[in-house]
Amino acid sequence: MSQMDPKAIRLTSSLDHVGLARDFVAEIAKSVPMNDRQVYDLELAVDEALTNVIEHAYEGREDAQVELSVTHQGDSFTILISHDGLGFDPASQPDVDLKEYIAERRVGGLGLFLMKKLMDEVEYTTSSDGRRIIRLVKRHPGGAPPPEPGAAG
Amino acid sequence: MLTLNELDAANAHVLAVAGKIDARTMGDFEGGIRAVMDAGHLNIVIDLAEVPFISSAGLGILMSVIEEIREGGGDLMMARVQPEVYRIFDMLEFTTLFQFFDTVDEAACAFAATA
């Protein structure tokens, strides 16, 4: 089967819950199955996205809600993170020059850069009802193909 | 939950870390490194054999202490970094900032070579 129903989890906006979100995504990714590297990429991208939501969109508030849903369709593994915090325009953040970053011993500001490196698509939008949505897509053309129609077994 | 253990090696002080290093545990990670520094040890090996995951928050801790350690005449060496964790160091070019070793002994010996 190449399509799964979306699976979802709702969390309060505490850093204590980021690990739960990582585990939630990892478990689904392993069942696809995606390989260890792809699973790690998904865990890290979710960690970075959710940490940014808690620390920046919710400015450290720990009593707000974050919803996370996962869909797998064809070769696309899609994670939607939605919240009611402050919006973020990725275009407002300049590209990171890693050589400069390292030379200047900068700290912080690598989350979005990492997410873009790890994922095939990273998109920030606002829904018609005002909810902020972060969409992360990882493709896995190397993953196990869906069974052919009529194939034995 | 992060577990930190300190060990003395011939030429260095070893901080063995176990657990996932993220925004929640980064404070423990920094506290562990600073405790070693505050005890006067600036030749430090970070043993990451039991760390299966590190986020940019964890790497930020290493960045925030490295200058202070080097200005004091010491250094931070990375030992036994798991492949997927090393890949993140490499992706962010932190591999240009630190030396990496397959064993804690090799990392500790690197201090003797530079002494």
Cβ neighbours of B91 in A, within 8 Å:
114, 117
CA trace torsion B39, B45, B48, B50 (10° rounding)? -60
| Chain B residue whose CA is closest to A47 | B55
Cross-chain CB nearest to A110 (options B20, B56, B67): B56
Interface predicted TM-score (ipTM): 0.93
* Beta-bridge partners for B15: B6, B46
pLDDT of B19 reads 98
Nearest-neighbour CA in chain B from A118: distance (Å): 9
Statement: residue B115 has pLDDT above 80: no
- Per residue in B54-76, pLDDT (tens digit) is 999 999 999 999 999 999 999 99
Tell me if A110 and B88 make a contact (CB, 8 A cut-off). Answer: no
| pLDDT per residue of chain A (153 residues) written in tens, 0 to 9 | 344 567 999 999 999 999 999 999 999 999 999 999 999 999 999 999 999 999 999 999 999 999 999 999 999 999 999 999 999 999 998 889 999 999 999 999 999 999 999 999 999 999 999 999 999 999 987 555 545 555 443
pLDDT at B92 over 70: yes
pLDDT at B2 over 50: yes
Contact B63 A107 (CB under 8 A): yes
Picking from B25, A150, B42, B27, the residue whose alpha carbon sits closest to that of residue B15 is B42
A31 burial via Cβ count (<10 Å: 0-12, 13-18, 19+): exposed
Is there a contact between B60 and A55 if contact means CB atoms under 8 Å apart? Answer: no
Categorize the per-residue pLDDT at B10 as very low, low, confident or very high, splitting at 50, 70 and 90: confident
* SS3 of residue A122 by DSSP: strand
Amino acid at A139: R
What are the beta bridge partners of residue A135? A80, A123
Which residues of chain B neighbour A43 with C-beta distances below 8 Å? 53
Strand order in the sheet with B3-8: B3-8, B13-18, B43-50, B75-79, B99-101
Q: Looking at the DSSP assignment, which residues form a beta bridge with residue A96?
A: none
Question: Using one digit for the tens of pLDDT, what is the confidence trace for B30-44?
Answer: 999 999 999 999 999
CB contact under 8 A, A47 and B55: yes
Nearest to A61 by CA among A92, A82, A86: A86
> What's the order of all strands across the beta sheet hosting A121-126?
A7-12, A65-73, A76-83, A132-139, A121-126
